Amino acid sequence: MLTIQTPEAVMFWVLGPLSVIAAIGMLVVKKAVHSALLLAWIMITIALFYIAQDAVFLGIVQIVVYTGAVMMLFLFILMLVGVDASDSLTETIPGLRAIAITAALGFGGLLVSLISRAALGRPAIGLAEANKDGNVQGLAKLLFSDYVFAFEAISALLITAALGAMVLAHHQRTVARPTQREQAIARFRTGSLASAAGLPNPGVYARHNAVDVPALLPDGTPAPNSISATLKARGDMLESSQFELGEVDNTVQEEK
Amino acid sequence: MNPYNYLYVAGLLFTIGAIGVIVRRNAIVVFMCIELMLNAANLTLVTFSRINGTLEGQVTAFFTMVVAACEVVVGLAIIIAIYRSRRSASIDDASLLKR
Amino acid sequence: MTFVTPVLNYAQLAPILIVLAGAVIGVLIEAFAPRAARHSSQLFISTFSLVTAFAALMTVRNQSSVDAAMGSVAFDGAAVLIQASILAISFLAIFLIADQENFTAMAAAVPGSEEERQSLQKDLRVTEVYPLTLFAVAGMLIFPIATDLITLFVALEILSLPLYLMAGLSRRRRLMSQESALKYFLLGAFSSAFFLFGIAYLYGYSGTITLSGIQESIVGGSGNDIFLLMGIAFLSIGLLFKVGAVPFHAWTPDVYQGAPTAITGFMAAATKIAAFGAILRIFYVGFANAEWQWKPALVVIAIITMVFGSVVAITQRDVKRMLAYSSIAHAGFLLAGVIALSKSGLDSSIFYLFAYGIATLGAFAVVTLVRDSAGEVTDLNRWSGLGKRSPLLALVFALYLLTFAGIPLTSGFIGKFSIFSAAYESGSTAILITGVLASAIAAFFYIRVIVLMFFKDPVEDGTSVVIPSALTTITIAVSATVTILLGVFPAPLLNFIETTAFFIR
Amino acid sequence: MSSLTLLGILPLVGALLIAVIPAEQVLRVKQAALGTTILVAISAIMMWLNFDESNTAFQFVQSAEWIPSFGINYAVGVDGLSLVLILLAVLLTPIVVLAGWNESEGGRWSAKVFYILILVLETMMIGVFAATDVFLFYVFFEAMLIPVYFLIGGYGSGERAAAAVKFLLFSLFGGLLMLASIIGLYVISSKNGGATFDITELSQMHNYMSSTTQNLLFLGFFIAFAIKAPLWPLHTWLPDAAASGTPGTSVLLLGVLDKVGTFGMIRFCLSLFPDASKTFTPVIIVLAVISILYGAFLAIGARDIKRLIAYTSISHFGFITMGIFAMTTQGHSGAILYMFNHGFSTAALFIVAGWMIARRKSSTIADFGGLQRVTPVMAWSFFIAGMSSLALPGLSSFVSEFLVLVGTFTRYPVAAVLATFGIVLAALYILIPVQKALHGPTTPGNENLPDLNLREKFAVGPVLAIIIALGFYPAPLLNVINPVAAQVIESQGFTDPVPSESAGK
Amino acid sequence: MVTSSSLVYLIALPLFGAITLLLAGRRADKWGHLLGTAMSASSFGVGLYQLSQMLSRPTEERAIGQKLFTWIDVASFQVDAGLLLDQLSICFVLLITGVGTLIHIYSISYMSHDENRRRFFAYLNLFIAAMLLLVLGDSYLTLYVGWEGVGLASYLLIGFWNQKPAYATASKKAFVMNRIGDMGLSFAIMIAFATLGTVSFAGVKEASEGASETALTAIGIMLLVAAAGKSAQFPLQAWLGDAMAGPTPVSALIHAATMVTAGVYLIVRSNFIFDAAPTAQLIVVIVGAITLLFGAVIGTAKDDIKKALAASTMSQIGYMVLCAGLGPAGYAFAIMHLLTHGFFKAGMFLGAGSVMHGMNDSVDMRRYGGLRKFMPITFITFGLGYLAIIGVPPFAGFYSKDLIIETAFNAGGFKGILLGSITLLGAVITAFYMTRVMILTFTSPKRWEEDQHPHESPFLMWFPMVILSIGSVTSGLLFYRGDALKNWLNPVFGDHGKDHYEEHLFEPIVVSAMALTAVAIGVGIAIMKYQLSEIDAVAPQNVSIFTRIARKDLLQDSFNESVFMRPGQVLTRLLVKGDENVVDGAVRGIGRTALGAGATLRRTQSGFARSYAALILIGAVALIAGIWVVTL
């Protein structure tokens, strides 16, 4: 027979509402990265629920794999796409908002109502018996005997995922990478000699987070081409004029 | 407390995830909402595992995590590919195919 | 607690394993073989593994067991038939896929970029589609024989993920192709979340995740059926999504249109077989005793699907979209076989699936041949006068359309006849009547295309029919032949199905 | 193999023969087509001579398993009814070939294709009348749409594509409804003594149906046949199709194909669903009367000569339908004989009208005028055909029309009286075009139209001869028809009404 | 019944002529007319032979039959292609072939300038064959074949010069109105079969004895409709005037002597039905009476010589119908008048043709005058016919008409007086308009243009006229003497044929006196009005409304047009429009609805993945809502 101790109930009543609120938060925050963080929080909550429900192994995996790996992947991608980019939350498809709200209320309401009316006709058992040799051992037994076929088959899924990522992301070189020598020759052959020495580095005379601030040229004017093209494209370049020196102090201070 | 309470939470999370898919435009957020739904399903599984006193639910949840991880890889790869073509991660922009 | 060493029946799993092995070898080829050798060796490996798998399947065709993989899969007559269908169609599909004109040279290149241009110029090839296809085939092979929900879910993902990827690999109209991949992926993941949610409730209801366990719970269950019904409902959403039943169909037209045509053909034909194979097994083996609960809903869905698919197809101007809506309508017809819940329903469904799959593949193969300088021409208006340009091809396409419309002497007619009789036999008069009316509506647009091809004059806009490669020719020829043969002499196959098809419990 | 099967295959052999003749050798193609059709006609006449008139069972039967899973057989055989219609089909075909010697020239495709289509159609026509297996019948019923569709759409005039589509859609719609009914029958038969499609066995199935079921199944068949036949208000496809097809196509369409409708009413509606037939008889009689008068009025109002002939056919089909459902021996025999006679009189009208149109390059009646003086033979041919159409005594249609009227009168006097008004309208709809086209001053532009050449005389001569001969001596056909008519009436549980005034004696 | 195998030759000979001439085409132009005449003449010869055979047999064996083959045999509906030659039909056979042959001869000359003379003879032969079939058929259905056959021949001959649109229209009108009558015959046959179970004359006769009056009345009325159509009786009379469009020999043969009297034949042949159906008989009488006056009135107003004669025909047939409607008493007299009328009216038509022949085909009597001197033979033969028709003794018409008037008076009671008066009035008008024709054509001053050269017709034309005039002089007396015709025909009418002179309202001599007085009045008025006063060469327009109405054929065409034709045309147009817009429109509407539904549903495919997801969610909500409901 399953009895639930008070600590768990307390935990549930604290974390449960929090997770739901966090989930709702996911829908209403503008920045994707905030959504991601809220999701990470929900996942941790759920991990705690797992652990509370005698699914220790899953709880840990949830934190390690999900929160640790999957969410990090999400964050990576968010970074790539633009971490500061924020969504407009105004609905552009007419009627969809209404449908969404109705569906949400309907779905959620019906779901809750149905769960409340559901009866299994047997008492909740609890995992004490199943976990008596240890949760991990129990899982392992199932995993490597009864569900070994699925377990093996899932390797195909993993290969597919890797292969897919390769297909979509791998840039096959269409032209041989120019050697340094070739690059040097090219620099001199084409363009002005001004660029022959290579592009200026960002962050020279850094008074700010270096990467997104254009370098200042010796005459004090900013050099926009010192910023990575990606940042430019993303609009993450700071206005460089604010770093322009109004007047270059040419006086050389004597070292004392 | 009744273990069913976890089911309510899971149901609500699932609902919210589903709504998120509909209301959010950023493909990555949409995808995260789907992850939320999967998590809600997992929570349901684990809860039922406890109610039923068998570990199959947990095993299923475990498989789900692996599958979800693979899905994330593929999904994000696709999203990135789209993003590079369009310089946009909004799924509303990807609406050439219609009618 | 003792650990029982798992015993697998490798003979019965051999088809799956061979295909998976082929896929893995394909991946290794990608990794190690020189670029020039990849295409031919991939093609060889793919066809070889499919043929071998088929042969392996045939050696065990009379066996049946539930213990092939520790109860995870059931191997029985229906499994043999469905797997054989999938393998046969995949084999033909590989030939289409081999025509690399369909695929982008480099998926990672930004559409319209210099890199893409160069990659095209260098005639690079995405030979990864072969292993991806084989992975998908493996998933499809597992999906209809899975008897526990975990394997089912895993198989669903194995078959889906490669398809998501391949949908984005079209050579032309890359933006559309990528868009279709995105839509397919997001909606697919969305629906698989429902699927998983359904699994959770079914597990909750019965305490097991095997179909037979669920069936036992239904028979001997106490309490009420709410969790069961929720489980069935959510699980069905995932399954119906895959087959494109209304209202879970919306991805179909977009993805069919955007994906490379060879992939569309593969996906339309093989996925439908696999998914319906799974649906049949789940509903026949798992939920049979709850039929009074799920049947009405499925009837409604089937009716809406037939009508919706047919009605909307009328207004389509793009041949691939039209075929997509037609496939939606056919999903509705096929649901009639599920609803029948009888031996004849099973037999007719399998026949229908095979006949439809073959014809669909053929139809998309024809689509790949109608091109202009910018690639395939799918705008129907530009198909006008095709009968003049290329009578044979137009005739073959007309044959496919007629079989979709269910004209006698084509396989589609036998399929429709058998599946509707099965449905009516089990008392679904509504299905019969709607099915017939929907067929009438559907006939309208099939005929419109025939009119366009034969009775309209060609527009001189550079649309032409390319000389098909030998492989594509084989695909088209085989599918056309099979379509006619099954229409005129269906008896051997029908007999074979009748004596073979059953579900082991 | 029975001689019937051989007869059916013969045209196909001819079609194959033509297929190997190079398309440029048009004359050779035509000769081959003519030779084949004449050979078929002779074979059919030989069969007629060997036909045992006293035997009401099917003769020349052959039965072979086709799709045993569904109890479907390749089963053919003829009784008086089918023999008459097969004769009609095979006699008209060579005439059509000969009369429309140059018809194939304005088409989209070569003459070769035209004649292949005609020959394939001939096979289908023989098959549809010879089939004693309902499923086989349906297969022919639907499959024959395809050649006609291409004949109209490919070789017709005016809005031919649209007309072809309209024709096909109407027919398909009806066919699908019939399919639903066939499925219903099949299921009922499989639940009651084993699945079968044998017409004789199926005719016992009505004992196992509720009256609602029987009514619904009857309607499925009947609507299909009413579209074919065509009965008001399902007739609107006919004028378009007939006006757009080549004259030869229209002859086969109106003369033979539409007879499938009335043939089916007798063969299927009556014998399979006797009770439902009784239930619906009043409605059908009303529709038939409406058709008679409606068709006649529209013919009077027609400006296009081909449309006019089409409308007259609607009127005549009204007579046939009325005769069938009058449920008297006279009505029945008359209706069957009418099918044959209408075939020939309409053929004559259409053939001659076709020549007139070909010469004048217009099908508007008003464009002709005074042809009797310019082209007397052609005018006379048209006139005699017209007289046959208005059922002038002494010409073949009279016997059948009068039998129908008299047969109907004994049971449904009001309907017969109303229908008789049709004969006055018939005088109008024939004499108006006769006056406008043949009489009156010669319209400018018509002075130099050539009269019929020898080939054309040879084409129309036999038709007119048959029309006149059968008018005076219908016994050869009536002897064949009477037994089957009597048998149908008897099997329906009807006896002819006894003369009211001599009942006491 | 005695059977004979030679009856068929009566029909076969002219039919052979017709078919040969039609099939041979222009090749037969040279000898076609000869063949046609020969065929008709040989048929007449066969007829004479049959008559001699008949005379050689005892009375009860005079009727002979021939079964050619079984024509239609469907269960109880059995019709043989059988012929029946009895005392009644032999009269017709001889009339048809005899007069027919004369008219063939006449036509050789009359049509000699027409390039299609061969075709004309083919039609004439066709007519003879059909007409013979009509009177020889031994059942209503075989009669029907001849019935429509003569209609066809009539149509062809009226429209012989159909290059003139008016003539083509006239032929069509004749055919269509005849068809209305044919419809009546169809009904009659159908009723006969439904009620009596047979359609042969013998069978119906036998069955009619026990049949109810209702059934027989229905059959009788329908037969009357048929007769009215064929014999141009009210209300189906309108076609006859227009039928004069045909060549004059046609008018003489078909529209005077033979075909138009087929209605009388039908009624007389069906005596067994009418005898048992008094109501039907009464209607027959009424129709006859109306037509009698109707035709007569029209006759007074016509300036076209052929139309005047046509009106007269109509009126005279009215007499016959009236008489036939009087039952057994009248049948023989109706036939007698029919035969005598056949002679004199055919003769007069041929005379009219002769006049036209001499007057450049002009038919306007107001443009005639004084032709007596130029065409003496025509004048004399026409005049003899004239005397016969108005009923001057001892010419044929006197006897036949007198007997009809007498029979009418003898019908009994008020009915008899009324009918007698009508027939007398008819006699007055007949005398008037026929005198008018005579005066206008022959005896009044000439009114034709100077470039006309009236001349006598050639021998081939006047010879038949002479023969016919002999007939119109002598036939009456021949038939009347000793009730020769009546006794001859009586076996046909069975028991009813006995003497019916029991009650005489007037003595025969009184009736004759009254009739002669009537004639005198009519002739007198005509002479006063036309012989003794100036005649306008153009019909005066300032005439009374009655004259105008009479000239317009008593508005028969206007009536038909406004009551049948125009509504019919409107109905046709409405139906054509309706078919296009309503019936076909409904079909197209279904198509449009499907397309519209498709276009609407298509919008759900908005292209936005989110809305697709929403769709899935809606489906999910619907499903669990369903669960929620069913598990309540």
> Tell me: the pLDDT tens digits for C152-199?
999 999 999 999 999 988 888 888 888 899 999 999 999 999 999 999
Q: What subunits touch chain E, counting only 3 or more CB pairs under 8 A? A: A, B, C, D
**Radius of gyration of chain A from its Cα atoms, rounded to whole angstroms:** 29
> Tell me: the pLDDT tens digits for C301-355?
999 999 999 888 888 888 899 999 999 999 999 999 999 888 889 999 999 999 9
Chain C residues within 8 A of A117 when measuring between CB atoms: 224, 226
Q: Which residues of C358-386 are buried (b: 16+ CB within 10 A; e: fewer)?
A: bbbbbbbbbbbbbbeeeebbbebebbbbb
Split at pLDDT 50, 70, 90, the class of A47 is very high
* SS3 state of residue E552: coil
Does A234 have pLDDT greater than 60? yes
Mean predicted confidence (pLDDT) in B66-84: 89
Within C280-420, strands assigned E span 370-372, 375-376
Contact D441 E75 (CB under 8 A): no
Split at pLDDT 50, 70, 90, the class of A247 is low
* SS3 state of residue C146: strand
Contact C151 A150 (CB under 8 A): yes
**Cβ distance C376 to C263 under 8 Å?**
no
Lowest mean pLDDT among A218-222, C416-420, D96-100, D396-400: A218-222
Where do we find the tokens 């095709």? C386
Where do we find the tokens 């200042």? A216
E contact test, residue of D402, D414, D454, D473 with most E CBs within 10 A:
D402
Q: Give domain status of residue B98, yes or no.
A: no
Query: Of all residues in chain E, what percent carry a pLDDT higher than 90?
Result: 1
> What residue type is D494 in one-letter code?
F
B94 touches chain A (CB under 8 A): no
Contact B78 C199 (CB under 8 A): no
Strands C375-376 and C370-372: antiparallel
**What pLDDT, on a 0 to 100 scale, did the predictor assign at position D366?**
81
Mean predicted confidence (pLDDT) in E416-433: 87
Alpha helices (runs of H) in C99-225, residue ranges in sequence order:
114-121, 129-142, 149-167, 174-206, 211-220
Cα–Cα dist D75/D477, whole Å: 25
C418 touches chain D (CB under 8 A): yes
Contact A147 C168 (CB under 8 A): no
> Tell me: the pLDDT tens digits for E68-88?
888 888 888 888 888 888 888
Joined together, the tokens standing for residue D107 give 């088409």
Contact A53 B47 (CB under 8 A): yes
pTM score over 0.90: no
How far apart, in Å, are the Cα atoms of C106 and each of A5, B78, C219, C373? 58, 14, 54, 20
Mean predicted confidence (pLDDT) in A168-182: 78
Contact D108 C388 (CB under 8 A): yes
* Neighbour count for residue C460 (Cβ, 10 Å): 7
Cα–Cα dist C491/C472, whole Å: 28
Interface pTM, i.e. ipTM: 0.88
Contact C448 D165 (CB under 8 A): yes
Cα–Cα dist E427/E424, whole Å: 5
B89 touches chain E (CB under 8 A): no
Cα–Cα dist E464/E471, whole Å: 11
Joined together, the tokens standing for residue E320 give 């016959």
Contact B31 C189 (CB under 8 A): yes
**Does D touch A (3+ CB pairs < 8 Å)?**
no
Q: Shortest CB distance from B99 goes to which of E605, E609, E613?
A: E605
Mean predicted confidence (pLDDT) in A231-248: 64
B39 touches chain C (CB under 8 A): no
User: How close does chain A come to E616, measured CA to CA in Å?
Assistant: 10
Mean pLDDT of the residues in chain E: 84
- H/E stretch holding C327: helix C319-340
Does E182 have pLDDT greater than 70? yes
* Neighbour count for residue C298 (Cβ, 10 Å): 23
**What pLDDT, on a 0 to 100 scale, did the predictor assign at position A240?**
59
D286 touches chain C (CB under 8 A): no
Contact A162 B73 (CB under 8 A): yes
B contact test, residue of A4, A14, A19 with most B CBs within 10 A:
A19
Contact A114 E618 (CB under 8 A): no
Peptide bond into D233 cis (omega under 30): yes
User: How close does chain C come to B1, measured CA to CA in Å?
Assistant: 18
User: How close does chain B come to A100, measured CA to CA in Å?
Assistant: 6
**What pLDDT, on a 0 to 100 scale, did the predictor assign at position A238?**
66
Does C149 have pLDDT greater than 60? yes
Interface of A with C in 98-117 (CB under 8 A): 111, 114-115, 117
CA angle at residue C235 from C230 to C236, to 5 degrees? 100
Does E497 have pLDDT greater than 50? no
List the one residue out of D122, D163, D138 whose CA is nearest residue D12. D122
**What pLDDT, on a 0 to 100 scale, did the predictor assign at position C265?**
92
Domain ranges of chain C: 10-500
Cα–Cα dist C451/D153, whole Å: 8
**What pLDDT, on a 0 to 100 scale, did the predictor assign at position D504?**
44
Contact D475 E73 (CB under 8 A): yes
Interface of B with C in 54-93 (CB under 8 A): 54, 56-57, 59-60, 63-64, 67, 70-71, 74-75, 77-79, 81-82, 84-86, 91
**Radius of gyration of chain D from its Cα atoms, rounded to whole angstroms:** 22
Chain B residues within 8 A of E609 when measuring between CB atoms: 30, 91, 94-95
Q: Give domain status of residue B99, yes or no.
A: no
Does A197 have pLDDT greater than 70? no
User: Dihedral, CA atoms, E16, E18, E23, E26, nearest 10 degrees?
Assistant: 130
Tens-binned pLDDT, residue by residue, of chain D (505 aa): 678 888 888 888 888 888 888 878 888 888 888 888 888 889 888 888 888 888 888 888 888 888 888 888 888 888 888 888 998 999 888 888 888 888 777 777 788 888 888 889 989 989 899 988 888 899 888 888 888 888 888 887 878 888 888 888 888 888 888 888 888 888 888 888 778 888 888 888 888 888 888 888 898 899 999 998 888 888 888 888 888 888 888 888 888 888 898 998 888 888 888 888 888 998 999 999 999 998 898 888 888 888 888 899 999 999 999 998 888 888 888 899 999 999 888 888 888 888 888 888 888 888 887 888 888 888 888 888 888 888 888 888 888 888 898 888 888 888 888 988 888 888 888 888 888 888 878 878 777 788 888 888 888 888 889 888 888 888 888 888 888 888 888 888 888 787 777 644 4
Measure CA E150 to chain center.
9
> Tell me: the pLDDT tens digits for C119-129?
777 777 888 89
* Nearest-by-CA chain E residue for B22: E610
A197 touches chain C (CB under 8 A): no
How far apart, in Å, are the Cα atoms of E337 and each of A82, D215, E331, E389? 119, 63, 10, 10
**Cβ distance C251 to E612 under 8 Å?**
yes
D482 touches chain E (CB under 8 A): yes
Q: Which of the residue ranges A210-214, C78-82, E172-176, E568-572 has the most confident prediction, judged by mean pLDDT? A: C78-82
Chains A & E: contacts with CB separation below 8 Å: 32
**What pLDDT, on a 0 to 100 scale, did the predictor assign at position D274?**
86
* Neighbour count for residue B36 (Cβ, 10 Å): 29
Split at pLDDT 50, 70, 90, the class of C479 is very high
User: How close does chain B come to A189, measured CA to CA in Å?
Assistant: 32
Report the CATH number at residue B31. Answer: 1.10.287.3510
* Nearest-by-CA chain C residue for E602: C312
Give the residues across from E72 on adjacent strands: E79
CB proximity list for A139: less than 8 A, separation 6 or greater:
A57, B55, B58, B59, B62
**Does D touch B (3+ CB pairs < 8 Å)?**
no
Q: B19 is in which domain, residue-wise?
A: 4-86
Q: Shortest CB distance from E608 goes to which of B18, B19, B92?
A: B92
Joined together, the tokens standing for residue E156 give 């062809």
**Cβ distance E76 to E434 under 8 Å?**
no
Chain B residues within 8 A of C110 when measuring between CB atoms: 84-85
Phi, psi angles (nearest 5°) of residue C146: -65, 135
**Cβ distance C445 to C316 under 8 Å?**
yes
Query: Of all residues in chain E, what percent carry a pLDDT higher than 70?
Result: 98
User: How close does chain E come to B91, measured CA to CA in Å?
Assistant: 7
Domain ranges of chain D: 274-494
* CATH number belonging to the domain at A6-131, selected among 3.30.470.20, 1.20.120.1200, 1.10.10.10, 1.10.540.10: 1.20.120.1200
Q: Shortest CB distance from E610 goes to which of A96, A106, A107?
A: A96
Higher model confidence: residue A230 or residue D9? D9
Split at pLDDT 50, 70, 90, the class of B63 is very high
**What pLDDT, on a 0 to 100 scale, did the predictor assign at position D505?**
43
* Nearest-by-CA chain A residue for C150: A150
List the one residue out of D479, D218, D488, D481 whose CA is nearest residue D328. D488
> Tell me: the pLDDT tens digits for E191-248?
888 888 888 888 888 888 878 888 888 889 899 988 888 888 888 888 888 888 888 8
Cα–Cα dist C379/D232, whole Å: 39
**Does E touch B (3+ CB pairs < 8 Å)?**
yes
Mean predicted confidence (pLDDT) in E464-468: 85
Cα–Cα dist A122/A130, whole Å: 17
D64 touches chain C (CB under 8 A): no
Contact D183 C347 (CB under 8 A): no
Alpha helices (runs of H) in D257-328, residue ranges in sequence order:
259-264, 271-272, 274-301, 305-325
CA angle at residue A204 from A199 to A206, to 5 degrees? 145
> Tell me: the pLDDT tens digits for A74-105?
888 888 877 666 677 777 778 888 888 888 88
